[in-house]
Each structure stands twice: as C-alpha cells, then as structure tokens.
Amino acid sequence: MQRQANFPGRVTLVGAGPGDPDLLTVKACRMIKEAQFIMYDNLVSEEIRALFPQDATTVFVGKAKGKHSATQQDINDLLLNAALSGKNVCRVKGGDSFVFGRGGEEMLMLAKQGIEVDVIPGITAASGCTSYANIPLTHRGLAQGCTFITAHADKTLDINWDALAQLNQTLVFYMGLSKTDMLMEKLISGGMSEETPVAFIENGCTPKQRVHIGKLNQLSTLKQQYQIQSPALIVVGEVVSIAEQMHWLTQLSHRQIQPSPLPQHDTKQLLQLTA
C-alpha cells in the first residue's frame, strides 16, 4: 500500500470508559477534541459522542451480536488509510482499549506499518459498573483478588473452569449474557456453591443502569425474569453481598439512623501526630 502523505498521521486509542462522560480522563477529552477522524464503537455513549468535534469525520464501526457490523479487517484498513492520509485519528472504544477491546491487535497492526500510536487508558466496565452498583471488586474477608473473563470466543472458551470456580475471588464476565446456562453449569460443577451471590449490571454507568442480584443457581432465571439486555456484566462472588447491605442501610437511614456526631479533637495534637 502506497503512503498517501509524506507525513502520516498518528492514531490514538482512546478508552472512553463505561458510559458516563464524567469518567473520561482529561487526556482522553483533549485528544478527542483535537481529532480530525474518529472511529467509535457501539458502547461509546451518546453523551460522549456529543463531545466529538463538529468538523471531524466520524465513522461508526461497532460490533453487536447477531447484527451486521464492520469486520476487524475492515476496521484495520480504515484506521490505516486514515492515518496514511495524514489525519489525526482517534479510535474511541468503550471501557479500556486493552481489556477485551482488541486495542493490542490494532496497535501492533499500525506499528508494523510505521504509524505512531498513543494509548489512553479508560475505566474498564468491570471497575466502573461495579463501583456504580456499590459492589467492590475486592473486600477484606470476602475477596482478595478479581478475575475478568470474556465469555465470547470465536470457537470454544478455553478456560480451566475448575480452577476458576475455586479461586475464592470476584469473577466478572464480559459478554456472557447468552451463556448464562453454561456459566452456571461450569462453575457449580467446578465446585462453586450454588448459593454464591451474583449480580447483573445492565447499562452500567448510564442513567439506564439496572442491577439485579440473586444466587448462582438463579443466573438464567434472573436474566429471563428481568429481560436483561446487552450491554450487561455478570459479577459472581461474595462481594455482591455488599451491594445488598448498602441497599438495606440506605433504606434504614432514611427512616431512623442519624449520623453520629464527629468526635472532638485537639487540632494541635492532630497536627503533631501527622507531622
């Protein structure tokens, strides 16, 4: 392929976070506003798209299950051609480009063609959506770690389910909505308790966010009962119980709990202690 400009443009892979525009980093906002050519996915919210410069060329290249969408090769060709034409290109992805976003593939492809690539991290859905749902990914006494898993694969999921079920960690499944029966069966047969708390977080970090909580053996039932639609995360682990506690405490505080008065301290003594 012949270069279309003496000085090819640069490409910035921008993680746009899970939906709330206030979660964009300052650097991400700046690069978006300076872009001449923007390619964006279907998980980039309408509020974030409203920040795109009016004079920039914008192209939707989102993928959705069961719907016609651009192939990864189409996306690669478009990215490369835009950069070779000398444009300042932003590839805007929901969440973080390097967490199930194929950002690494696109970065390597461009680098092999001599295109300069910058990467701006974003808040991945597992972190942003669980925080908005009052579910900590780790919590002392409940989970000392967390694991992110994609339930989407071209062929079969190459996962050691027995090991995953016995980690005693928080598990967050991306793109697992169509595989709830399998997730239940694999985790329970691997040794995880049927009573393990689970949560669906639908449209996380947006005004449409919904959170539905139950047990592992209710996973498919919850999906059907509440007609949960993509995008949705599945969270499995004892940390989900924190959200239930927060809900109960919030309701209780509206009725009877009054905040305790702050203890009185000697300011000079505190300053000495922290010096």
Give the mean model confidence (pLDDT) for residues 199-204.
97
Same domain, 164 and 240: yes
The confidence score (pLDDT) of residue 63 equals 75
Instruction: Say if residue 251's pLDDT is above 80.
Output: no
Question: Could you read off the pLDDT of 47-73 as tens digits, one per residue?
Answer: 999 999 999 999 999 876 656 578 999
Clarify whether 63 is annotated catalytic: yes
Average pLDDT of the residues in 63-87: 85
- Take residue 68 and report the two structure tokens written for it: 């016609």
Same domain, 47 and 25: yes
**Is 265 within the bounds of a domain?**
no
Do 67 and 163 fall into the same domain?
no
Considering the domain architecture, whether residues 91 and 146 belong to the same structural domain is answered as no
Task: Tell me: do 135 and 248 sit in the same domain.
Answer: yes
pLDDT of residue 268: 56
**Among 65, 99, 123, residue at a domain's last position:** 123
- Give domain status of residue 266, yes or no: no
Indicate whether 244 and 135 sit together in one domain.
yes
Q: What is the pTM of this model?
A: 0.85
- Residue in 22, 33, 63, 77 annotated catalytic: 63
- Averaged pLDDT for residues 198-209: 96
245 and 132 in one domain?
yes
Does residue 233 have a pLDDT over 60? yes
- Say what the pLDDT of residue 199 is: 98
Q: Is pLDDT of 226 > 90?
A: yes
Does a structural domain hold residue 65?
yes
Is 246 a member of any domain? yes
Cβ neighbours, 10 Å, residue 191: 12
Q: What is the CATH number of the domain that holds 193?
A: 3.30.950.10
- Average pLDDT over every residue of 169-174: 97
Under the banding of pLDDT at 50, 70 and 90, the label for residue 270 is very low
- Whether residues 138 and 107 share a domain: the answer is no
Q: Is it the case that residue 6 has pLDDT exceeding 80?
A: no
Active site residue 87: no
- Judge if 109 and 40 occupy the same domain: yes
Contact 194, 217 (CB under 8 A): yes
Other C-beta atoms lying within 10 Å of the C-beta of residue 123: 22
Residue matched to tokens 């892979």: 13
Q: Based on the domain organization, do 213 and 139 belong to the same domain?
A: yes
pLDDT level of residue 193 (50, 70, 90 thresholds): very high
What's the one-letter identity of residue 273? L
On whether the CB atoms of residues 89 and 70 are closer than 8 A, the answer is no
φ, ψ of residue 160 to 5 degrees: the values are: -85, 90
pLDDT tens digit string along 102-131?
999 999 999 999 999 999 999 999 999 999
Which is the catalytic residue, given 20, 22, 33, 41?
41
Q: 16 in a domain, yes or no?
A: yes
Looking at residue 163, its pLDDT comes to 94
Mean pLDDT (the chain, rounded)? 88
The total of structural domains in the chain comes to 2
Q: Write down the pLDDT at residue 244.
A: 84
Q: Are residues 92 and 137 in the same domain?
A: no
For residue 79, count CB atoms less than 10 angstroms from its CB and return exposed for 0-12, middle for 13-18, buried for 19 or more. Answer: buried
Domain of residue 115 covers 11-123
CATH code (residue 82): 3.40.1010.10
The answer as to whether 18 is a domain residue is yes
- Does a structural domain hold residue 267? no
The token duo for 8 is: 């090819």
pLDDT given for residue 259 in this prediction: 52
- Please tell me the predicted confidence (pLDDT) of residue 275: 52
- Among 123, 140, 157, the domain-final residue is 123
For residues 90 and 196, membership in a common domain is answered with no
